[in-house]
Amino acid sequence: MVITIASGKGGTGKTTVAVNLAYMIAQDAQHPTWLVDCDVEAPNAALFLKPEFIEEKSVERLLPVINHDLCTACGVCVRACASNALAIAGGKVLFFKELCHACGSCALICPESAIREEPELVGEMHKGYSGPLHFAQGTLEVGFSSPTPVIRSLKKWILPEQSDDIFILDASPGTSCPVVETMRGSDFVLFVTEPTPFGLHDLKLVVALNEKEFNLPAGIVINKSGENDALIAQFAQEKRLPILMRIPLSRHFAEAYSSGILLAEDSPALGGDFIDLFHKIKLHATKEKT
Amino acid sequence: MKIVISLEENNGLDSTASTIFGRCPFFMTIDPTSMAFEIIENPARQASGGAGIQAAQWVLNQGAATVISGNLGPKAFDVLSAGSAAAYRHEGGSVTDILKAFEEETLECLLAPNTSAHTGTL
């Protein structure tokens, strides 16, 4: 079972929920459990779970290299490029690496076979353990703007086609390509939000993304829960999204978080709530499937 | 000789010139001797990325040797200079004003990009 933790807005507690949920499921020891940090631009789950890495792998993309001796500057590759990464000027093809999406079209279509592809390092992946919990993360190389290939490779490396293991995927904030790539193929998506107008606004965006792209069974966790919860509850009711857990706004939790302490370890009662959350997710994921 | 000017609007020779290159709304191609011109929507305006490159490629495909715009980013500049097209910077105003300044050689010729990438992104 694959559960994606998403939020729309950053700073709502997505990683907090992901690491605590994964930690508690693993402690429960009923299923082999994985935490996969797919926020490859800023992976931070490791700060809380302090994993020991045992294996690493690099992620590469293939970039075109133009052989100017063979190139006749016919312009076929320029027209084939959907990313405007190629131009033809002064009888020569120019290549702009920053715009290239590494689709390979130019190399395929070149009638003179003047384009070959060479690998470029775009990220790294690590896997290991944090106690009984399996842990994996991807890291985008500094200076690169597209995290999607790293997320795709990470999921390919870690997630088998069929498995009874539990995989908790920590997505990046927002609603753009990296979040779509993380959610793809999941069995359930858990939206972590906060009861503020900003939290609600971005929750609406990520809920709309799920409705449009995948329509995965979904539920909500309200973090920093308190007197303004109605803001979220009203929207949840409209969308028929269950509120599966509330984590109270608490200075103590904020202090524990800022010291890299797992809330579930710090507060056994809250730990129990995460186990409840997991059972509710299982229920909703299977109920909505049938 | 053919000149391309980036425009804010489609209003003939009275059109206000645009200081944006890659994502300006319209381009005018004009022959300053005969004053024969054509205005078209910028084909690169909606590009998800690389608008400057696509716009510069369009300019070269028109066979224009001169571009008059406001700000030119590094990638657009690379394409234009590889295609031996000269780039000039205007200070705003209508096409008529700008062509007059061009004839009087008071427009600044750009020898390097004068803005960073993505400046014209809305």
> Tell me, what's the pLDDT at B120?
66
Distance of CA A284 to the CA centre of its chain: 21
User: How many pairs of residues across A and B have Cβ atoms under 8 Å apart?
Assistant: 43
Rg, chain A, Cα only: 22
Cβ A84–B50 below 8 Å, yes or no? yes
B117 within a domain of the structure (yes/no): no
* Domains in chain A: ranges and CATH: 2-59+122-289 (3.40.50.300), 68-113 (3.30.70.20)
Beta bridge partners of B87: B67
Q: Report the helix count and the strand count for chain B, using DSSP H and E.
A: 3, 6
Min distance B53 CA to chain A CA atoms (Å):
7
Cβ B80–A89 below 8 Å, yes or no? yes
pLDDT digit of tens for each residue in chain A (290 aa)? 999 999 999 999 999 999 999 999 999 878 899 999 999 999 999 999 999 999 999 999 999 999 999 999 999 999 999 999 999 999 999 999 989 988 999 999 999 999 999 999 999 999 999 999 999 999 999 988 889 999 999 999 999 888 889 999 999 999 999 999 999 999 999 999 999 999 999 999 999 999 999 999 999 999 999 999 999 999 999 999 999 999 999 999 999 999 999 999 999 999 999 999 999 999 999 875 54
Residue owning tokens 């062509």: B99
Residue A85 and residue A101: Cα distance in Å, rounded? 8
Residue B48 and residue A59: Cα distance in Å, rounded? 25
Among the partner residues A78, A88, A94, nearest to B78 by beta-carbon distance: A94
- Range list of β-strands (E), B8-104: 26-31, 36-41, 66-69, 86-89
ipTM, interface predicted TM-score of the complex: 0.84
- Residue of A99, A101, A148 to mutate for B, most B C-beta atoms under 10 A: A99
- How many other CB atoms sit within 10 Å of the CB of residue A14? 27
CB contacts of B78 in chain A (<8 Å) are: 94, 96
Closest CA to A260 of A2, A54, A15: A15
Residue A187 and residue A203: Cα distance in Å, rounded? 19
Pairing of strands B86-89, B108-109: antiparallel
CATH number at residue B81: 3.30.420.130
Among the partner residues A83, A84, A94, nearest to B82 by beta-carbon distance: A94
> Tell me, what's the pLDDT at A205?
97
Sign of the dihedral defined by the CA atoms of residues B53, B55, B59, B65, in that order: negative
- Residue of A88, A96, A97, A98 to mutate for B, most B C-beta atoms under 10 A: A96
B114 within a domain of the structure (yes/no): no
Number of residues that make up chain A: 290
Tokens representing residue B28 in the block:
């005018």
Distance of CA A185 to the CA centre of its chain: 12
Residue A144: φ, ψ to 5°: -100, 145
Q: Which amino acid is at B46?
A: Q
**B97 to each of A163, B94, B103, how far by Cα in Å?**
70, 5, 10
Look at residue B7 and give its three-state secondary structure: strand
Cβ B56–A85 below 8 Å, yes or no? no
B118 within a domain of the structure (yes/no): no
Report how far apart the first and last C-alpha atoms of chain A are (Å, whole number). Answer: 15
Residue A140 and residue A66: Cα distance in Å, rounded? 26
> A177 touching B, CB under 8 A?
no
- How many other CB atoms sit within 10 Å of the CB of residue A122? 22
Total tally of structural domains belonging to chain B: 1
pTM for the model stands at 0.78
- Residue of B57, B78, B84, B121 to mutate for A, most A C-beta atoms under 10 A: B57
Mean pLDDT of B22-51: 94
Residue A111 and residue A117: Cα distance in Å, rounded? 15
Min distance B118 CA to chain A CA atoms (Å):
12
B19 within a domain of the structure (yes/no): yes
Residues of A numbered 74-113 whose beta carbons fall under 8 angstroms of chain B's beta carbons: which are they? 78, 83-85, 87-90, 92, 94, 96, 99
Residue A168 and residue A43: Cα distance in Å, rounded? 14
Domain interval for residue B41 = 3-109
Residue A10 and residue A35: Cα distance in Å, rounded? 19
Stated as kind and residue range, the H or E segment containing A49 is helix A45-49
With vertex at residue A234, the alpha carbon angle to CA A233 and CA A236, rounded to the nearest 5 degrees, is 60
Helix, strand, coil percentages, rounded to 5, for chain A = 40, 30, 35
